[in-house]
Amino acid sequence: MDLLFSAVTDLLEPTRFLLLVLGVCLGLIVGVIPGLGGPFGLTILIPVTYSLDPVSAMALMLGMAAVTTTSDTIPAVLLGIPGTVGSAATVLDGHALAKKGQATRAFGAAYLSSLIGGLFGALALAMVLPLMRPLILSLNFGDLLAISIFGLTLVALLSGRNPGKGIIAALLGALLSFIGLDPFESSERWTFGSIYLWDGLPMATVFLGLFGLAELTALLARGRIQIEDVPPKRTDIIRGFKDTVANWPLVLRCSGIGAILGAIPGIGGSVIDWVAYGHAARRPGAGGPFGDGNIRGVIAPESANNAKEGGALVPTLAFGIPGSATMAILLGAFTIYGLEPGPQMLEQNSQLMIAMILTLAIANVIGAAFCLGATRQLARLAQTKAEVLVPLVLVFVLLGAFQHGKAGSDFLILFAFGLLGIFMRRLTWPRPAFVLGFVLGPSLERFFFLTYQVSGWDWVTQPLVVLLLSLTAAALFRQMKGWRIARNTSEPRHHLRADFFFALILTGIAVYGLFTTFRMPFAAALFPAAVCALMLTGGVFVISSHLLNRSAKTASERLLKKSDLTFLSGVLCLSLTILTFGHLIGPALFIGLAGIWFKVQSPWATLLSMAGTSAVIFLVFDLLVSQAWPEPWLASIF
């Protein structure tokens, strides 16, 4: 009790508490800007903490890390763009609610469930930290492989009405995740001679293209986020609270999922929210189908997201193995203060650890309070004209992608996955399945090889592996059987011919990938070849179902609309202005050109938007973090 009182006294000391609040504010800013996230924010703060004592430094850094998964809900709900990779599942139902004029309700449910999840994670950390080491060590690589396979299969099957498409999308994501130097032979896999691709496709850029560009072009076509003319009401926040309270068993279960999976090294936040979403989708309850504005589809991933931070701290503190990328950076910061994670830290620095647990809890309360205070103002953005909103958001989407490698290749990757996202969205190919395949692909490969090296094929007889693989097989059989019955109904299908050719192209990619693996070393080729073979089988299955289902009616709607071409031209224009004039002047010029093109703002409003955009970019990308931007093309000419 004395330790708890001392830790509370230390943390609530005015200077330290202000640092905690400052960290929360920075975390909210980092989370709301697409493409950044917790690791980016911690990288900013570590140099600032050199002169601070350990409690102050942890208050600042954990305050920031705890709330990035709270504010990343804002772009996910309003724009359909995940603020961080951990909010991708929230996009599906959160953005659908915003289109119906229920953004305030979605925010209310998301923030309360985030608060409960964050407090649950801090409580779980406090309770199980002394006991967690033997439990985590009892999980071997075979168990982790089975968990990954089960999670991937579950999301693939629950994404959309066609499980065949879901499986192919997941396999395509896994296949593209293998691009780069393989971790076993260091041989090139589909890099096409580009050094840029040696480290693989950047995850943030892939997600920004797949969701960000695809949703922005849809927003431009609609005219505004909110389709229905319903003004935001304060009672909608209360309704969101009631939704969360009414679904309290789901909140607690998903918080538990987040805390437990967050404690397992290798299971990142980008996986946890999909596992929680898939768990909720198995029991839809009230609110309609998932993906069409079911509030449970917001509550589940948001509960798990915030709980995972407490879970991720368990292996980090218990025995020095980071549970996430954010925790890996935090682990590096421990060395600055001479802290060594492990059992000795539990004994020698118990007061600091209690302060860290309290920091997580208090940060979640403050972060949720800040976001709730701004909910109604944020919801009003749903009624803003798309011609005003899209250029501003597009600037930060492209800068979020550009800050990865600061090369023209970042824009090419973003544009390519933007096109892929548009096609998948129009043809109802599930992007969530692709995302989880892309995230889990490297982990599946690594877990498989490590498992095989340790126990050969005996791993398939382990109890947890048998259980999870049996559940996976049962889910596959059940879903495929149900789809086989449903596909015989002659309901109208959009873009039937385009859908057929898209499946044909993906099958061709699988064939190409399979043949090119013959020239790779065995270890580098084994897993990609297996994925290609499975993808080829699924492609043949989907193509044959098209040929057998000729009675479906074809819509005459064009696959690429005029608004899509206008938007994609804008993406190319902004990319060129950034490369030509730099990251400050280029976006301002683009905002000015967009104002002239759309003619929805007065000249003074356009000038204000240009100045405000440049100021925010300078604050975030130059003052908060000093980084070397490439010299603009115009400067190199002169």
Q: Is residue 484 over pLDDT 70?
A: no
Instruction: Read off the amino acid at residue 214.
Output: A
CB 322 within 8 A of CB 335: no
Query: What pLDDT shows up at residue 176?
Result: 92
Q: Which two tokens stand for residue 75?
A: 């772009």
CB 577 within 8 A of CB 400: no
Highest mean pLDDT among 83-87, 100-104, 510-514: 510-514
Q: How far apart are CA 444 and CA 520, in angstroms?
A: 19
Mean pLDDT across 177-191? 85
Query: What pLDDT shows up at residue 86?
Result: 64
| Among candidate residues 99, 41, 43, 48, the one with its CA nearest the CA of residue 69 | 41
CB-CB neighbours of 228 under 10 Å: 9
- Tokens 């000391």 -> residue: 13
Mean pLDDT across 168-175? 88
Q: How far apart are CA 610 and CA 68, in angstroms?
A: 27
- Tokens 């009631």 -> residue: 242
CB 411 within 8 A of CB 244: no
Query: What pLDDT shows up at residue 416?
Result: 92
Q: Is residue 232 over pLDDT 60?
A: no
Of residues 34 and 237, the one with the higher pLDDT is: 237
Expressed in angstroms, the distance from the first to the final Cα of the chain is 68
- Lowest average pLDDT, out of 230-234, 239-243, 247-251, 615-619, goes to 230-234
Mean pLDDT across 557-567? 74
With H, G, I as helix, E, B as strand and everything else as coil, classify residue 607: helix
Query: What pLDDT shows up at residue 485?
Result: 46
Q: Is residue 452 over pLDDT 60?
A: yes
Sorted by sequence, the CB contacts under 8 Å of residue 14 that are 6+ apart come out as none
Name the band, by pLDDT with cuts 50, 70 and 90, for residue 348: low
Of residues 368 and 224, the one with the higher pLDDT is: 368
Query: What pLDDT shows up at residue 488?
Result: 43
Name the band, by pLDDT with cuts 50, 70 and 90, for residue 483: low
Q: Which two tokens stand for residue 262?
A: 């967050």
Mean pLDDT across 593-601? 81
State the greatest distance between any 2 C-alpha atoms of the chain, in Å, as a whole number. Answer: 75
Instruction: Read off the amino acid at residue 544.
Output: S
With H, G, I as helix, E, B as strand and everything else as coil, classify residue 595: helix
> pLDDT, tens digit, for every residue of 406-433?
888 888 998 999 899 888 888 878 777 7
Mean pLDDT across 51-80? 76
CB 362 within 8 A of CB 173: no
Highest mean pLDDT among 88-97, 212-221, 327-336, 604-613: 604-613
Q: Is residue 158 over pLDDT 60?
A: no
Helices (H), 178-286: 203-207, 214-222, 234-246, 248-262, 269-281
| Among candidate residues 100, 187, 186, 36, the one with its CA nearest the CA of residue 621 | 36
Mean pLDDT across 339-368? 72
Q: How far apart are CA 50 and CA 63, in angstroms?
A: 17
Highest mean pLDDT among 337-341, 367-371, 525-529, 618-622: 525-529
